[in-house]
Chain A
Amino acid sequence: MTVTPAVEEEEKKGEKPKEKFKFSFDYFNESRLGIFALVVGAIIAVAAFFPSLPAFVKGIGVMAVILWGADSVRKTARYGLGTGVPSIGVLAVGFGLVGATTGMAIGSEIYHYFGSIGILGALAGVAFMAVIGYVSGVLANSERFIGMKIPGLERGMAELAMAGTLAIILECSIVAGSWYIGDILSPIKGYNIAPVAFIAVMFILAGFGMLQPYNSCLGADERRGRTLLMAIEIGGINCIILGAVATLSLGAVQGVPLLVMGAIVWVVFYRAYMKACMDESYATPGTGLIKTLGG
């Protein structure tokens, strides 16, 4: 009874990644994915200073960074945190808000006085949060302080802080057109509201992109590929919402491509994720009675 489905599942697993999606997560192991997302996210975050950069490119950056964050949450929480998974995701964007504010303020200030070299200032916020995240990980793990002894917490915290910072910077620049702090705080053209009014939705969207994949897939037979498929799917939903906001703040030329890209990503990865779950589960009967073990 138990052997047959397991064998079938092995076969399906072997052939599945080739035909379903070319972007296999086997190559992108945890370290490679981190480096890839950090490089892509940092380049796009620096370039996001210029309002001419299309919003959907920033959307790709947001999705890469959220994918990385979700992977870091998985890495940190896999050890056995059940109810702590959402807390870690929210902690990441909490770090992110502080780091993004720091980075955007430093970058804008340098830009103000020394010209375009200042756009690298956003990375100062990322580096700052990497240090803060690492220190908080050490504080939580070290026996001298809290002594939680979670394996890899220091690295996970640093990664989460960086991912959260990049996500918030990119989302701010999607809504405001640039992460120049004057643009974020001054009213949107024609409306009596500043882009910073949408900070709540940026916060919660980035947070859920990171915390929900592992929280929803958690279990004994959780598989990294499935979890990351969901992270990209949630990135797609985020792009849809941010696209709607950008349509108002920047106009349809910026907003609509982002919205359409989000919708396409969502449809593709939602299907891939659902297929993966249905194929890899024990069984998917239409309905049925439950198996009873001794009452």
Chain B
Amino acid sequence: MPVISLFAWMLVIVFLAFVACMFEDLESDVGSQSNPNSQVQLAPEMGYIHRYYNKAISGEGLSYALACTIAGTIALLLLLQFEPTYGPKAAILAIPVGAAVGSISHMIRSSVCYPGREAAHKRFEQPIYLDVFYGHLVPIATHNFIAVICITAIAYIQSHLTVLSGVSGTSNPFPLPLLCLIWGITVGAIGSSTGDIHYGTEREFQDRPFGEGRRVIYHGQICRYGDCGIRTSKDVVAFCAKYGGPATGLTFGLIVLFENWRTVIGMMLGGLTGAAWNPGIAAASGVGLGIAVAIVLIVLNTWLVRWARKKYGPFVGE
């Protein structure tokens, strides 16, 4: 049965990764972090005063690495304190408390960004709207909490897999904060590369011709009006939750699924620990499966791009 339990834990990790990346993308939309933020930053300089929240902690990858690492550190402290007494049950306390500390720290850090950046736009007459400032802090903290708790849980599962699955030698040797750092960078990077496209093109630049990059002459010309009234960053979230967020979560979930799936299958073919364990076969079959998955994905993507170009007209440059 050990393979089934490994497989089950893998699926739990995939599900958590899906939820984490979806909420990561939505959280970055609350405050317009990462790539689309460069246009939000440019808008007042071009004369377009706006009511977006300018959350420039850093890129998404790093700021999530920070929140997740703090969460992992606090969780590890609590685990070290309570695990000897309560065993694995200590995680029930440690993971949520760690995630709460991480997301509060993230909220505090994002609260200094909006006043800082808009005060630096004084000469362009961009005011600091206090309702925008206060109104975005709680959505940032709550969305961030869901993402960070999922990442901390993934890191916990990885570092305690031997206890949880009963297969010896499967625990990750890295300590919990380091795993959180790596997962945080990854979740931020995927959220930035996949989710920002939907937010940027569909909400900030709605009148863009198919396939065209943003011309320099239009820089800073973001859509400042919503369906009704003036748009704030909060309004973007409800829109992106329908497509951009789940698509981002799916991307990250699939990456984690394929990556772990090939490892588990490879381990199975290699004899799965114990006496019959052959690391060479395990590694080789894992790499082979990975290449096969990559080829299938490349073919599918090429076909998708061809279909989209045919359906929505040629690129402007063609």
Interface positions of A (Cβ within 8 A of B): 2, 9, 82-83, 85-86, 89-90, 191, 193, 197-201, 203-205, 207-208, 211-212, 215-223, 226, 230, 233-234, 237, 241, 244-245, 248, 270, 273-274, 276-278, 280-291, 293
Indicate whether B5 reaches chain A with its CB closer than 8 angstroms: no
A288 touches B56 (CB 8 A): no
Q: Give the residue of A82, A241, A293 whose beta carbon is less than 8 angstroms from that of B47.
A: A293
B124 touches A220 (CB 8 A): yes
B77 touches A291 (CB 8 A): no
- Shortest Cβ distance from residue B39 to the other chain A in the assembled complex, whole angstroms: 12
B125 touches A197 (CB 8 A): no
Q: Give the residue of B70, B80, B125, B175 whose beta carbon is less than 8 angstroms from that of A282.
A: B125
B127 touches A199 (CB 8 A): no
Chain A residues with CB below 8 A from B73, complex form = 198, 200-201, 241, 244-245
Asked, given contacts A82-B38, A208-B58, whether A221 binds B80 with beta carbons under 8 Å apart, the answer is: no
Per DSSP, are chain B's interface residues mostly helix, strand or loop, or mixed?
helix
B77 touches A245 (CB 8 A): yes
A220 touches B45 (CB 8 A): yes
B105 touches A237 (CB 8 A): yes
A222 touches B120 (CB 8 A): yes
Asked, given contacts A241-B73, A245-B73, whether A204 binds B121 with beta carbons under 8 Å apart, the answer is: no
Indicate whether B306 reaches chain A with its CB closer than 8 angstroms: no
Per DSSP, are chain A's interface residues mostly helix, strand or loop, or mixed?
helix
A278 touches B51 (CB 8 A): no
Q: Return the CB mask of B30-57 against A: 1 if under 8 Å, else 0.
A: 0000000010010001011111000011
Interface positions, chain B 71-130, Cβ under 8 Å from A, are 72-74, 76-77, 80-81, 105, 108-109, 112-113, 115-130
A226 touches B124 (CB 8 A): no
* 10 contacting pairs across A/B (C-beta < 8 A): A83-B59, A86-B58, A220-B123, A221-B122, A245-B73, A280-B119, A281-B127, A282-B126, A287-B132, A293-B49
Chain B residues with CB below 8 A from A201, complex form = 69-70, 72-73, 177
A86 touches B62 (CB 8 A): yes
Asked, given contacts A244-B77, A281-B118, whether A83 binds B230 with beta carbons under 8 Å apart, the answer is: no
Indicate whether B131 reaches chain A with its CB closer than 8 angstroms: yes
Q: Give the residue of B41, B58, B125 whose beta carbon is less than 8 angstroms from that of A219.
A: B41
Chain B residues with CB below 8 A from A211, complex form = 58, 62
Chain B interface bracket (under 10, 10 to 19, 20 to 34, 35 or more): 35 or more
Determine the distance from Cα of A203 to Cα of B72 in the docked complex, in whole angstroms: 14
Determine the distance from Cα of A236 to Cα of B256 in the docked complex, in whole angstroms: 36
B77 touches A248 (CB 8 A): yes
Chain A residues with CB below 8 A from B115, complex form = 274, 277-278, 281
Determine the distance from Cα of A220 to Cα of B120 in the docked complex, in whole angstroms: 6
Chain B residues with CB below 8 A from A293, complex form = 47-49
Indicate whether B17 reaches chain A with its CB closer than 8 angstroms: no
Chain A residues with CB below 8 A from B127, complex form = 281-285, 288
A-B pair count, CB < 8 Å, reads 175
B116 touches A226 (CB 8 A): yes
Chain B residues with CB below 8 A from A208, complex form = 57-58, 62, 66, 109
**Among B70, B72, B119, B180, which residue has the most Cβ atoms of chain A within 10 A?**
B119
Determine the distance from Cα of A219 to Cα of B44 in the docked complex, in whole angstroms: 10
- Considering the complex, give the chain A residue whose CB is closest to the CB of B48: A293
Asked, given contacts A2-B125, A221-B121, A221-B122, whether A241 binds B62 with beta carbons under 8 Å apart, the answer is: no
Determine the distance from Cα of A204 to Cα of B102 in the docked complex, in whole angstroms: 13
Indicate whether B161 reaches chain A with its CB closer than 8 angstroms: no
Determine the distance from Cα of A83 to Cα of B192 in the docked complex, in whole angstroms: 13
Chain B residues with CB below 8 A from A217, complex form = 116-117, 119-120
Q: Give the residue of A82, A216, A281 whose beta carbon is less than 8 angstroms from that of B57.
A: A216
Asked, given contacts A211-B58, A274-B115, whether A204 binds B69 with beta carbons under 8 Å apart, the answer is: yes
Interface positions, chain B 173-212, Cβ under 8 Å from A, are 175-178, 180-181
B130 touches A284 (CB 8 A): yes
Asked, given contacts A197-B76, A241-B70, A290-B224, whether A284 binds B124 with beta carbons under 8 Å apart, the answer is: no
Q: Give the residue of A9, A90, A245 whose beta carbon is less than 8 angstroms from that of B62.
A: A90
Indicate whether B19 reaches chain A with its CB closer than 8 angstroms: no
Indicate whether B65 reaches chain A with its CB closer than 8 angstroms: yes
Asked, given contacts A220-B45, A282-B125, whether A277 binds B230 with beta carbons under 8 Å apart, the answer is: no
Q: Return the CB mask of B135-171 against A: 1 if under 8 Å, else 0.
A: 0000000000000000000000000000000000000
